[in-house]
Amino acid sequence: MPVFVFPGQGSQFPGMGKGLFDEFPDLVREADAVLGYSVRDVCTEAGGARLAMTRYAQPAIYTVNVLTYLRFQRKAVLPPSYLLGHSLGEYCALFAAGAFDFATGLEIVARRGELMGDAGGGAMAAVVGLTAERIEATAADSPGGGIWVANLNTPDQVVISGSAEHIRSARDHFLAAGAARYVVLPVSGAFHSPLMAAARTRFAEVLAAAPIRDLRIPVVANLTGELHADAGLRASLAAQICAPVRWADSIRLLLRRGETRFIETGARRVLTPMIEKIAA
């Protein structure tokens, strides 16, 4: 059985999901009722202005990822051995694992997008060519501080978060430490960092009220790189907003368990190259 993986924010693009919406009219109507706007319009409008905004991007990506997964299962019927997703994609994995129905997951994700979108003023950058340990040390002694590791994606690709000023000014510091590339990402917040603390607190309240069921299929947690425990699921998801996404650790866990087949289920292929690099 394969492992299904779901991408998160950054995988969106104008026109995504165009071929999906007509295949699942009932779920699209359900999504529009939950969101109060047309998810199809957000995904397909020219220029993708709303897709560039966290509050719209997160529910749109969730919808497209889930519909892509359902279409795959409609055609192939391949039960997953494990499920995992990158950041926002974790909610798609939880849907596939039976933690909640489509609408409940979308309500949770929409609120998450609003809260994270409201926590503006931050920035993120991808650092390539240094080990995670070296990046953590370089972030710790960066001038002015205020930089944290956000995504541990591959052995030599890590994303950092901080204030927009600190992220912009840290470029030379990381290049001097030996980074091959330093790329500021097109996001408006310092996701997966302590600057998301207020969003985490409010999101914990959302999760406390959400009907979440026990998992039918094992899901790897971004927070720990280990399997989710049903009892700690809500706490893990709330903490994830402020903590690093341990993607490389998550994939290593599954490789150690003998998993070799990974199917990426989303608008476009962004996680597969990371998995191939981790496996190599």
* Closest by Cα among 60, 61, 193, 173 to 121: 193
Q: What's the rounded Cα separation, in Å, for the pair 66 and 42?
A: 16
CA separation for the pair 22, 54 (Å, rounded): 25
Measured CA angle at 8 (ends 106, 255), to 5 deg: 115
How many other CB atoms are found less than 10 A from the CB of residue 53? 15
Residue type present at position 100: F
Write out the catalytic residue numbers. Answer: 87, 192
Collect all residues with Cβ–Cβ distance below 8 Å to 18 and sequence separation of at least 6.
43, 44
Q: Are 58 and 199 spatial neighbours (Cβ–Cβ below 8 Å)?
A: no
